[in-house]
Structure 1
Amino acid sequence: MNRFINKYLILNADDLGYNAAQNSAITELYRTGEISSVSALTVTPYSDAGARIACEEKMSVGVHFALTSDEECARWHSVSGAASLEDEKGLYSDGVKLALSAKRKDVRKELQAQYAYLTSRGIKPDYADSHCGTLYGINGRRFYKDAFSFCSDYGIPFRFPKSPEFIVRQIGRSSRIINSLHAHIVKLAEKYGVILIDDLISNPWRTGAEEALRDYYISAIKELRPGITEIFLHPALPIANMTPEWQKRVCEYEILKSGILRKTAEECGVEIIRRGEIKALIAK
């Protein structure tokens, strides 16, 4: 049961370390206070640059566990070299291949290596989350158990919502199977002693134009319930030959840059917090 009276909001930027355009956008938004926390990738050619930025800016950083590549033509590489997670080109870009190939011991090895990648660069992650949801069980594998075991060992929260409404918002429907899996994951986190947030918000794929996207986030903030909620976005600067997905990242950058999300939160009495504050709030 949610025991909070107040409303707390984390404005998080995912994918620090994705590329230079992402790194620049996130740096700017963190400096101006339009985002409160970031999730850092460790498997890309730009991860070192992202880690340096995080250190220099003293960012509230979460480790953005990635077990797959985003593009087949430009594969990322595991930190641990775990054989079952990749082939000679790097991490699989196909989640199905990962699900069929991955060994749980290699998943745990890679989580450890990605966390160590950040700590070796002077960053102590205050959170963990999952790039593309590969640790959420949506691929039929119970990698969330490995994530919870890891987070329990290191005493850090994991980004997964207690509320099943995140699923409904993202895919537009619910079902007994989905609700049952969600309840199982939440209960397992409790068993491992891993802190979860109350709700999680991001843009559904069906949300397109910048105006619609802005209105979606504004409405979400106005409708927040008491507790700790995270909105995660993927802000980035424009690049050459932008795909619709990248155009959406640029839209999110423009929305955050405008200050409208922070302003809406303030007007609604919502306190914006860093991820690193979660444990203290829970302990009160």
Structure 2
Amino acid sequence: MSRRLVVTADDVGRSRADSEVVLDLFAEGAVSAVTIMPVTPFAEAAADAVAGRPGVRVHVTLTSDDDVPPWRPLTAAPSLVTADGFLHTDPVAASRGSTADVLAEVAAQLGWVRDRVGAVAAVDAHTSVLYGLHGATWLEATLAFCGEEGLGFRLPRDGAPYLLPHEAAPFAGAHARAVVAADRHGVPIPAAVLTNRTSAAEHGSYARLLDSYLDTLAKLPEGTSELFCHPGVPGDDDAATLRGWEARMLRDPRFTDRLAEEGIAVVDHW
């Protein structure tokens, strides 16, 4: 067995400027997959830009972000929205939504992307609310839906590279049950998932962020894994700094050379 890696840029549609960065990276081949947020104002143009290309996934969006104007769901989704009809920014409030509303919204977002882009191999989630980390109990039903639709799901078979050391024990049981459910429903899942969960301030420099990613590549297990990141326009705040650094990393020869050195093939789906 060999090691393969889906290199994903998340959050297409979140903002116009960041979407343009991601779409450029996708056009250049610097990433092999992108995820589209169907509820945002910039999703339509993004979908047009990637129509017909492999590697496009649905970034199921059940919450708004607090640094951009709030988003409305594609369905009525009464249990998922505020009094004004917008998706909650508070993940705990969002997690009180009904399973029926969640599945209807997931189906609508999937249909939206299929109608504009074509085939979709997998879905994943914007923020961690769909995974139940804030109290929601939707994951089993979502995996059943993915099995019925022939979709993969972003759920690492090996949680170690993604989970921080203090999270491994508390989440071990829930993670093991989710993997069993994915297998029961015939849902493809990645062998491991790599991403950055450290702030720019904690890294201190681009070089240290790059080193952290390079170190994780050497630890990839056999099979097909995923590295997902959030490239975008660099800025002064911590999140924008990270987006700029990740965009730079994806074009950095040291990153692509390390993939070759490790014998890791880049693919567009797991």
CA distance in 2, matches of 1:12, 1:79: 24
Distance 1:245 1:230, change over 3 A: same
Amino acid at match of 2:255: L
In the alignment, which residue of structure 1 is the partner of 2:249? Answer: 255
Q: Measure how far apart 1:75 and its partner are.
A: 0.6
Asked whether 1:246 is paired with 2:229, we answer no
Matched-pair contact (CA < 8 Å) for 2:162–2:192? no
Q: Measure how far apart 1:167 and its partner are.
A: 4.2
Q: 2:175 aligns with which of 171, 182, 207?
A: 182
CA distance in 1, matches of 2:113, 2:260: 32
Asked whether 1:7 is paired with 2:12, we answer no
Q: Measure how far apart 1:43 and its partner are.
A: 0.9
Q: Measure how far apart 1:122 and its partner are.
A: 3.5
Deviates more, 1:108-117 or 1:22-31: 22-31
CA distance in 2, matches of 1:158, 1:175: 20
| Secondary structure at 1:90 match in 2 | coil
Alignment of 1:162-173 (within 5 A): 162-168=157-163, 171-173=164-166
Matched-pair contact (CA < 8 Å) for 2:159–2:193? no
Amino acid at match of 1:262: T
Distance 1:116 1:250, change over 3 A: same
Matched-pair contact (CA < 8 Å) for 1:167–1:173? no
CA distance in 1, matches of 2:249, 2:55: 21
Matched-pair contact (CA < 8 Å) for 1:78–1:91? yes
Alignment of 1:1-284 (within 5 A): 5-55=1-51, 58-71=53-66, 74-87=69-82, 88-100=84-96, 102-168=97-163, 171-206=164-199, 207-208=202-203, 209-238=205-234, 242-275=236-269, 278=270
Q: Measure how far apart 1:72 and its partner are.
A: 6.5
Q: Measure how far apart 1:64 and its partner are.
A: 0.5
Matched-pair contact (CA < 8 Å) for 1:66–1:134? no
Percent identical: 26
Matched-pair contact (CA < 8 Å) for 1:255–1:261? yes
Distance 1:73 1:252, change over 3 A: closer
Deviates more, 1:171-180 or 1:11-20: 171-180
Amino acid at match of 2:240: W
CA distance in 2, matches of 1:237, 1:96: 29
Unmatched 5+ residue regions in structure 1? 279-284
Distance 1:96 1:182, change over 3 A: same
Matched-pair contact (CA < 8 Å) for 2:54–2:268? no
When normalised by structure 1's length, the TM-score is 0.88
Deviations 1:83-114 (A, max 9, x none): 111121510000011123x0110000000010
Unmatched 5+ residue regions in structure 2? none
| Secondary structure at 1:118 match in 2 | helix
| Secondary structure at 1:77 match in 2 | coil
CA distance in 1, matches of 2:162, 2:15: 28
Q: Measure how far apart 1:141 and its partner are.
A: 1.5
| Secondary structure at 2:136 match in 1 | coil
Q: Measure how far apart 1:190 and its partner are.
A: 1.2
Distance 1:197 1:175, change over 3 A: closer
Amino acid at match of 1:216: S
Aligned positions, number: 266
Deviations 1:135-165 (A, max 9, x none): 2121122211232122111101101001120
CA distance in 1, matches of 2:76, 2:253: 41
Amino acid at match of 2:260: E
